[in-house]
Chains A and B, each alone.
Chain A
Amino acid sequence: MSSLALSVPDLTPYLPPMIFGSLAAVVLVGAAMAALAPRIVHAAFALMACFFGVAGIYAMLGADFLALAQVIVYIGGILVLLVFGILLTGRLKGALGMEAATRAWPAILAGALLFLGLAVALEGSSFPGSTATPAAAEATTAALGRALLDPSEYLVPFELVSVLLLAALVGAAYLARRRRA
């Protein structure tokens, strides 16, 4: 009699793990390709997929400002810088940064051991102060902005970081100038 209700199970509780699983797959596959792709240009594009996945992870964690900042700063800024670096140094060996991955296996072994160690440590540890089920996510952009510009909170570090960024950019422009022309 209630065959219709039975045939449509409620999938809502399974949505977060499914979304998390797909995002984690995007992040880890992108990162693995960035680590091991034979051509450095392919690695850069895999890195873009990985950064988008991390932005999705931030969105899932309720960090809306950071998700957008991830896309703008990492993909729009750092990744473009990396591609510039690849293209400006890519006239080596004819191909664009083609390299033999001779040391891949020891490195993969070291990474796997590190991950195993971290996983074992995580399983055996508890984090006091953390809740098992967080409250419903709210937009945190306003709270973040207030915390960053409040003199009793993070105003001084915030201004120091802007000075650091300016110094780094001036230093980068100085370092990258042409010496022999």
Chain B
Amino acid sequence: MSLPLNAWLLLAAALFSVGVVTVLARRNAVAVLIGIELMLNAANINLVAFDRYGADGVRGQVFSVFVLAIAAAEAAVALAIILAVFDSRDRIDVDTIDSLKG
């Protein structure tokens, strides 16, 4: 009884949907970032699952490594921006940060 490919893809789809819910429901910018990380993880599960069920070497896992590195860079820059905004506005509520200037 081995698992079908769709089992992994459905899990990834569910995780991605939860990530979307997080991004839409949260107002704290750090929590929005958490939602983005959930979505990146879901994409990675898809890549690794296709790698496992395909016959194409380790190509899917290579892409996962790149996603991992991009996610690290993205988290560092996003948190730096959040800290800078907090420093100048004293808030990180994404609903109230709506002015482009100043």
Q: Which residues of A contact B (CB under 8 A)?
A: 13-14, 16-17, 20, 24, 27-28, 31-32, 34-36, 40, 43-44, 47, 50-51, 54, 57-58, 61-63, 65-66, 69-70, 73-74, 77-78, 81-82, 84-86, 88-89, 92, 97, 99, 101, 103-104, 106-108, 110-112, 114-115, 118-119, 122-123, 127, 129-134, 137, 140, 143-144, 147-148, 153-154, 157, 161-162, 164-165, 168-169, 171-176, 178-180
List residues of chain B with CB within 8 A of the CB of A173. 80
Could you say which of B9, B20, B34, B88 has the most chain A C-beta atoms within 10 Å of its C-beta? B34
A85 touches B30 (CB 8 A): yes
B16 touches A118 (CB 8 A): yes
List residues of chain A with CB within 8 A of the CB of B45. 54, 57-58
A133 in complex: contacting residue of B2, B7, B49, CB < 8 Å:
B2
Is B81 in the interface zone, CB < 8 Å from A?
Answer: yes
Question: Contacts A16-B3, A82-B34 given: A161-B70 contact, CB under 8 Å?
Answer: yes
B16 touches A61 (CB 8 A): no
A85 in complex: contacting residue of B18, B54, B72, B83, CB < 8 Å:
B83
Question: Contacts A69-B65, A130-B5, A168-B77 given: A50-B41 contact, CB under 8 Å?
Answer: yes
Q: Contacts A50-B41, A165-B73 given; 4 further ones with Cβ under 8 A?
A: A78-B75, A86-B30, A92-B91, A112-B17
* Chain B, residue nearest A165 (CB): B73
Question: Contacts A54-B44, A78-B37 given: A34-B24 contact, CB under 8 Å?
Answer: no
Query: A35 vs B42: C-alpha distance in the bound complex, in angstroms?
Result: 14
A78 touches B13 (CB 8 A): no
Query: A181 vs B1: C-alpha distance in the bound complex, in angstroms?
Result: 63
* Chain A, residue nearest B86 (CB): A89
Number of residues of chain B lying within 8 A (CB) of chain A: 76
Residues of B15-37 at the interface with A, using a CB-CB cut-off of 8 Å, are 15-22, 24-28, 30-31, 33-35, 37
A129 touches B62 (CB 8 A): no
Query: A111 vs B70: C-alpha distance in the bound complex, in angstroms?
Result: 25
List residues of chain A with CB within 8 A of the CB of B92. 89, 92
Report B60 CB to chain A, min CB distance, Å: 9
**25 A-B pairs, CB-CB below 8 angstroms?**
A28-B15, A28-B18, A31-B19, A34-B22, A35-B18, A35-B26, A47-B38, A73-B71, A74-B68, A82-B75, A84-B79, A85-B33, A89-B82, A103-B25, A107-B20, A114-B20, A118-B16, A119-B10, A130-B54, A132-B4, A134-B53, A164-B73, A165-B72, A168-B77, A169-B73
